């Protein structure tokens, strides 16, 4: 470095490098300028100056200088290395790798460049290159522990576990017998556990167990040691030893469900689907009775039997489990028991059990068969459980009755208002739900969770501006809304995006969905620093798990929702493109002068408001600068409403970007292929649309959406012109060959297939709606018949032994979808009105259908209560319903006394 410079300037060059490493950028710039005064064309100095400027956010100058430096000295490895570092800082990893490879052509044994290259190869999953680079590093510096470990990890990631084991053993062969010293025992123990996990992964289980026991004194993490040992014993079929070891682990942590599951496996009493024979149930019951005597304070040992017991035994165990929690007042009891509602008959037993407890507490003040009186709060928590129970079963009127009774009993418990809000949301009244959630929030302004739940309810009610004001109460001062983005608050951005999408504000919806996608990109980038850190700290098992997690990162639900939301926005944008400025000018020229004037005034006011907001932000930034002495790095958002996002030339091309990610990472999701069908049909990509239909049939052939896409696709194919070109003939041949592979269409016309689908699913509303829609597509003249098919649907009762009323089969969201179908596709507003009236009876709390009990009806019970709170009734002592989001309106709390 700087070899072509005189001694004085060579020392200055070393100072530039040191200043860069110690982040003293101004000092480094000064030294670079001193060299460039005498040697203005010195390539390495120009490159280092550019790299320093890059760290000072002067990127355009940085690239210019680095490229000039490289041009002046193409054979300098320093220039190529610096160019790679510049690309790396901008996440252009592929370009950075090219630069590093060019640098290595000039200086093949440069440790720094090889190390940087290996990090990028790990990041980009260039595993073959990663192995090669790590091997080169080990060859150059075999006395460095990190090089041995790095080479082993590289081989493991490249699916060569046995080679990785050999490398680790070769490394151990270089160590002395008394290794490790006390300050390296943890790191060495981690390396040994990693090696044993590798042996297990390679199928060398016996050898792994032998190695584990041999190296026990050198392993510090004794819990990990025992867990690894018991895993190996299970795989070797040594279940007696495994059983004893699981019992030791339970003595260490009697609430770990995995240990109980492992113990059952060792005893031959585990079933993945939860189905057991009577003999197995008896043995399991005896096992957990003995364990409950040993670990009487463990809740897991009492909860697990509820999964396999049934009938009277289940009832007794459930009663013994529930009673203490109701007495203590544990709000999460229903969440704990909710998986049992998927077991046949258990929900009815729980209902009868808790109703009996409620009746006994109301009449005698205690539980059945007990003399001791229960505290007054027990009744309230019993009602709290019952409200959630009936909410789960869709009996919203009963649920609201129970929660109102609980609120009347104890009006100061926040959880009651939160649950009532959730019930109203499920019942279809998001506005009333938001108001109740806001009331809960006002009862404890320091509770972030309650605040977040309130924000979520407001967004579900499409009160976005109010939700934003409420959310920022818990963010730092200054750029409050941006703070939510910086905190990667994805649930907020998703809920906001979905709300904007419902309201038709595609720009803002896209902005929110793409913000979530940006968070996932950031999470992917965040792994970069761990490639060197984990090898240095020897957290190898966790490191490999983290890399596997990163590889499936985009399969998680938040990304799936964000990508699906963005695709829906682009599809809407394609179907109804936004007007260009020229079209808007043309439309304005057609308006009368008075309206033109009003419109221009409105535009000027909006521009002035935006300008004022920008000035306020700039002023806030200036204040922050004067206080801290540092300029905030956060750039001002130049497109707060997402208007630029709507100005894409090809919305379908943008949608395809996210669709490919969904197809790669969420191929088992029906929604992925439904979106693929919609995108490719619009793009006229017939074979890709066929592929989407085949995937949907594979995943769920009886789904209404699958049927809809199948019929639509072949109806579209049937209406296509005869093929002319060779490509069209080839596509036609594929379609003719593929049609018989669909069992629904074998030897049948589309109309016959549609009729057969109806016969098969006659009792399902969603299936009838899909059939009706396809009738309107294939036979437009039979639209009346399609509407009758929907209106003839009956809302049958679901078989239930529920003690308090029947449960209807129809779901609110399905009925809303049918109403939208009648309005937007079948275009029959009279039928839609009849459907709305009918559904308002079934769903009295639904605001969409304007049910009699919903907030959408002026004289509903909700609105009467709201007015009562606003006017202030002398006989009403409960808290005011505060749906305005203003935290200062807390007069109702002034005289509140909690006894």
pLDDT tens digit string along 585-617? 555 566 676 676 666 677 666 666 665 665 555
pLDDT computed for residue 603 by the predictor? 65
* pLDDT at residue number 33: 92
Length of the chain: 899
Confidence check: pLDDT of 859 > 80? no
685-688, long-range: CB < 8 A, 24+ apart: 686/717, 686/731, 686/735, 687/731, 687/734
Q: What is the pLDDT of residue 180?
A: 84
Q: What residues does each domain of the chain span?
A: 7-159, 815-871
Provide the percentage of residues in the chain whose pLDDT is more than 70: 87
DSSP 8-state assignment for residue 115: H
CA distances from 158 to 152, 195, 417, 607 (A): 10, 16, 54, 56
Q: How far apart are CA 805 and CA 810, in angstroms?
A: 16
- Report the C-alpha gap between 382 and 374 in whole angstroms: 12
Give yes or no for a contact between 305 and 357, defined as CB atoms under 8 angstroms apart.
no
Q: Please return the burial class of 461, using the count of CB atoms within 10 Å of its CB with bins 0-12, 13-18 and 19+.
A: buried
Residues 6+ apart with CB under 8 A from 670: 696, 699, 700, 703, 705, 706
Lowest mean pLDDT among 411-415, 437-441, 666-670, 860-864: 860-864
Dist CA 767 CA 844 (whole Å): 24
Q: List, in sequence order, every beta strand (DSSP E) within 430-478.
A: none
pLDDT tens for 807-855 read 668 899 999 999 999 999 988 899 999 999 999 999 999 999 998 888 8
Q: Tell me: the pLDDT tens digits for 733-768?
A: 998 888 889 988 888 889 999 999 999 998 899 999
**Interval 674-708: pLDDT, tens:** 999 999 999 999 999 999 999 999 999 999 999 99
Q: How many CA atoms lie within 13 A of 373 on its CB side?
A: 7
With the CA atoms of 85, 88, 90 and 94 taken in that order, what torsion angle do they form, in degrees rounded to the nearest 10?
A: 130
SS (H, E, C) 791-847: HCCCCCEECCCCCCCCEECCCHHHHHHHHHHHHHCCCCHHHHHHHHHHHHHHCCCCC
Query: How many angstroms separate the CA atoms of 485 and 492, rounded?
Result: 9
Is it the case that residue 630 has pLDDT exceeding 60? no
Mean pLDDT of the residues in the chain: 87
User: Which of 1.25.40.10, 3.40.50.300, 3.40.50.360, 3.40.50.620 would CATH assign to domain 7-159?
Assistant: 1.25.40.10
Task: Decide if pLDDT at 633 tops 60.
Answer: no
For residue 259, give every residue at least 6 positions away whose Cβ sits within 8 Å of its Cβ, in sequence order, or none: 246, 249, 250, 253
**Position 85 pLDDT exceeds 70:** yes
CA 57 to chain centre: 33
Question: Which residue has better confidence, 867 or 269?
Answer: 269
Q: Tell me the backbone φ, ψ of residue 51, rounded to 5 degrees.
A: -65, -40
Q: Tell me if 389 sits within 8 A of 804, measured CB to CB.
A: no
Confidence of residue 722 (pLDDT cuts 50, 70, 90): confident
Whether the pLDDT of residue 629 is over 50: the answer is no
Per-residue pLDDT tens digits for 148-186: 999 999 999 999 999 999 999 999 998 888 788 888 899
pLDDT at 477: 62
pLDDT per position as a tens digit, 387-446: 999 999 999 999 999 999 999 999 999 999 999 999 999 999 999 999 999 999 999 999
Each residue's pLDDT tens digit, 286-312: 999 999 999 999 999 999 999 999 889
Global pTM value = 0.86
What pLDDT score was predicted for residue 52? 93
């Amino acid at each position: 470095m700087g070899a072509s410079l005189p001694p004085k300037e060579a020392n200055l060059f070393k100072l530039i490098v040191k200043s860069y490493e110690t982040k003293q950028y101004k000092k480094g710039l000064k030294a670079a300028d001193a060299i460039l005064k005498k040697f203005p064309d010195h390539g390495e100095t120009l490159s280092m100056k550019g790299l320093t400027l890059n760290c000072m956010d002067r990127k355009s100058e940085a690239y210019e200088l680095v490229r000039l430096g490289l041009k002046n000295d193409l054979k300098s490895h320093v220039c190529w290395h610096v160019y790679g570092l510049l690309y790396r800082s901008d996440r252009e990893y592929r370009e950075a790798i090219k630069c590093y490879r060019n640098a290595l052509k000039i200086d093949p044994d440069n440790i720094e460049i090889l190390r940087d290259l290996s990090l990028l190869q790990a990041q980009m999953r260039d595993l073959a290159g990663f192995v090669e680079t790590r091997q080169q590093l080990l060859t150059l510096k075999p006395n460095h522990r990190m090089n041995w470990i790095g080479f082993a990890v590289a081989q493991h990631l490249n699916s060569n576990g046995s080679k990785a084991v050999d490398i680790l053993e070769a490394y151990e062969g270089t160590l002395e017998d008394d290794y490790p010293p006390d300050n390296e025992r943890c790191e060495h123990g981690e390396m040994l556990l990693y090696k044993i996990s590798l042996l297990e992964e390679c199928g060398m289980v016996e050898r792994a167990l032998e190695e584990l026991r041999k190296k026990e004194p050198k392993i510090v993490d004794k819990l990990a040691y025992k867990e690894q040992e018991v895993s190996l014993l299970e795989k070797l079929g040594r279940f007696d030893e495994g059983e004893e070891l699981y019992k030791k682990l339970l003595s260490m942590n009697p609430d770990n469900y995995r240990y109980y599951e492992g113990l059952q496996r060792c005893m031959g009493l585990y079933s993945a689907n939860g189905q057991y024979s009577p003999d197995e149930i008896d043995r399991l019951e005896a096992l957990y009775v003995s364990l409950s005597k040993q670990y009487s304070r463990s809740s897991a040992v009492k909860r697990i039997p509820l999964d396999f017991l049934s009938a009277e035994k289940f009832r007794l165990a459930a009663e013994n489990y529930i009673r203490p929690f109701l007495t203590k007042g544990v709000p999460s009891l229903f969440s704990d028991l909710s998986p049992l509602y998927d077991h046949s008959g258990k929900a009815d037993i729980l209902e009868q059990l808790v109703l009996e407890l409620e009746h006994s507490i109301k009449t005698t003040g205690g539980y059945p068969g007990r003399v001791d009186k229960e505290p007054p709060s027990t009744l309230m928590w019993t009602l709290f459980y019952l409200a959630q129970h009936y909410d789960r079963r869709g009996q919203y009127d009963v649920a609201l009755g129970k929660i109102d009774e609980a609120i009347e009993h104890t009006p100061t418990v926040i959880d009651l208002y939160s649950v009532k809000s959730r019930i109203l949301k499920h019942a279809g009244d998001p506005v009333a739900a938001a108001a109740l959630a806001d009331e809960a929030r006002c009862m404890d302004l320091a509770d972030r969770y309650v605040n977040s739940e309130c924000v979520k309810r407001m967004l579900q009610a499409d009160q976005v501006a109010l939700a934003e004001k409420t959310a920022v109460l818990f963010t730092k001062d200054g750029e409050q809304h941006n703070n939510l983005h910086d905190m990667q608050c994805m649930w907020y951005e998703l809920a906001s995006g979905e709300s904007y999408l419902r309201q038709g504000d595609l720009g803002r919806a896209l902005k929110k969905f793409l913000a979530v996608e940006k968070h996932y990109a950031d999470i992917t980038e965040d792994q970069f620093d761990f490639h060197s850190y984990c090898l240095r700290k020897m957290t190898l098992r966790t490191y490999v798990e983290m890399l596997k997690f990163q590889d499936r990162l985009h399969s998680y639900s938040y990304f799936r929702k964000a990508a699906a939301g963005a695709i829906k926005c682009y599809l809407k944008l394609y179907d109804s493109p936004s007007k260009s400025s020229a079209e808007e000018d043309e439309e304005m020229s057609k308006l009368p002068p008075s309206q033109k004037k009003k419109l221009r005034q409105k535009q000027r006011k909006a521009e002035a408001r935006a300008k004022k907001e920008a000035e306020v932000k700039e002023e806030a930034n200036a204040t922050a600068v004067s206080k801290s002495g540092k300029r905030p790095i956060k750039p001002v958002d130049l497109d707060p409403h997402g208007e630029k996002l709507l100005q894409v030339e090809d919305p379908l091309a943008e949608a395809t970007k996210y669709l490919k990610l969904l197809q790669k990472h969420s191929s088992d999701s029906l929604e992925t292929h439904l979106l693929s069908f919609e995108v490719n049909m619009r793009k006229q990509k017939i074979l890709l649309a066929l592929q989407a239909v085949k995937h949907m049939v594979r995943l769920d052939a009886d789904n209404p959406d699958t049927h809809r896409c199948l019929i639509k696709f072949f109806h579209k194919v049937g209406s296509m012109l005869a093929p002319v070109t060779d490509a069209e003939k080839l596509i036609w041949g594929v379609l003719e060959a593929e049609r018989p592979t669909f069992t629904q269409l074998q030897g049948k016309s589309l109309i016959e297939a549609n009729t057969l689908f109806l016969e098969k699913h006659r009792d399902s509303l969603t299936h009838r709606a899909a059939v009706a829609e396809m009738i309107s597509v294939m036979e437009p003249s039979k639209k009346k018949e399609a509407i009758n098919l929907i209106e003839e649907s009956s809302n049958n009762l679901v078989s239930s032994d529920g003690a308090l009323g029947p449960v209807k089969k129809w779901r609110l969201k399905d009925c809303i979808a049918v109403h939208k179908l009648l309005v937007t596709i079948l275009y029959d507003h009279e039928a839609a009105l009849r459907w709305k009236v009918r559904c308002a009876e079934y769903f009295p709390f639904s605001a969409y259908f304007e049910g009699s009990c919903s907030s959408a009806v002026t004289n509903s019970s909700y609105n009467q209560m709201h007015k009562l709170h606003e006017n202030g009734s002398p006989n009403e002592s409960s808290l005011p319903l505060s749906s305005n989001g203003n935290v200062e309106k807390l007069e109702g709390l002034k005289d509140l006394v909690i006894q």
